[in-house]
Chain A
Amino acid sequence: MSAEFDTAETLDVKGASCPMPVLKTKSATDGLDPGDILEVLATDSGSMSDIDGWASGTGGVELVDQIEDGDVYRHYIRKTE
């Protein structure tokens, strides 16, 4: 499935479990410019709730979409500032 978003970067955290998907997502967004979208590929089923919670509780980022794609959870996060 190809993303319908114009992603600036893709972070692959497949296999990693809590808390690493969130920690690596945070580090990856630090390097983005405002407006950029980060795609995160994870296999941790907790990442659906965790990345949503992280994005809504953190300034400067917003969750654009989350897609369950077979065994992979795709997260799209936009850097807002």
Chain B
Amino acid sequence: MAEALRALLRRGLPAAPDAVTPALLDLRGVAARAADPADEASRRAALDGLLRSTLARFPDVKHSRSVRALFGMAPAEPGWNLTRRRDAAAAACGMEVNHFRKRIEPRLVEVVAASLVADDEAFTRTSAIAPRLTAATARQRIPAEPFAWEVAEHEAALTAVWAAIYALRAELLTIERLLSLGAGRSEVVPHAVDAAWAWGRTRRAALDFTDGWDTGLDPHALVALAGWAPALAAPEADRLTQAAAAASDRTAFLTAVRSDIALSDAWIEPFFHTTNTDID
């Protein structure tokens, strides 16, 4: 990253096409800011904004004017060559220019590079990781503005999906434990029904979440996070999902699926017959 920045430094800002390397244009923070991520010019504009905002917020106050000048922001001006920008940068922190070039400039470039890497990390999509929870120390107030409402609504939807995934996981673990204990069919089947109901609700929640939000996630992959479950053909999966989502309680769910012999067989039998080899 520092090497890519040094290449860009030769021309300074605004970022010129021949001074920008893929290492910079491929940063997730750059792609996320670009109006059209597929367009290189758009990514370059996004990189320009990212660098300017990074330099404007440079944490080392003593060298903030210097680093900005070095990259071509005020007190330097667009079009200045590197020698002139370096002179201005050294002057901004009261240093002799050779000392600045050898000792200070590499460190400043490293700090900017580290900021870009941190920004890149912040733009990693982590929606497939359950939200971390900690003990509340205060009531969570949502600021009265649309952005905050949208973020809160997104977190509520994400949390609901994870609640469903963990509930399904609990049911699947119970079945596996019973089978491991050598429990009889009559003991396992009621739990398989519970798991079917949970699976259907989880799939519904995952479909709603991925339909309604731009997550880039596959709903089937989300459901699969709960653990192994029988593989259903699409029509059966849809029938199970519909029955589970419509049922207000377990009895209603059971009533809805009781007569669907094909679905019952497809869901229940694999628990008794599938081996690890089948799964692999």
The answer to whether A and B belong to the same complex is: no
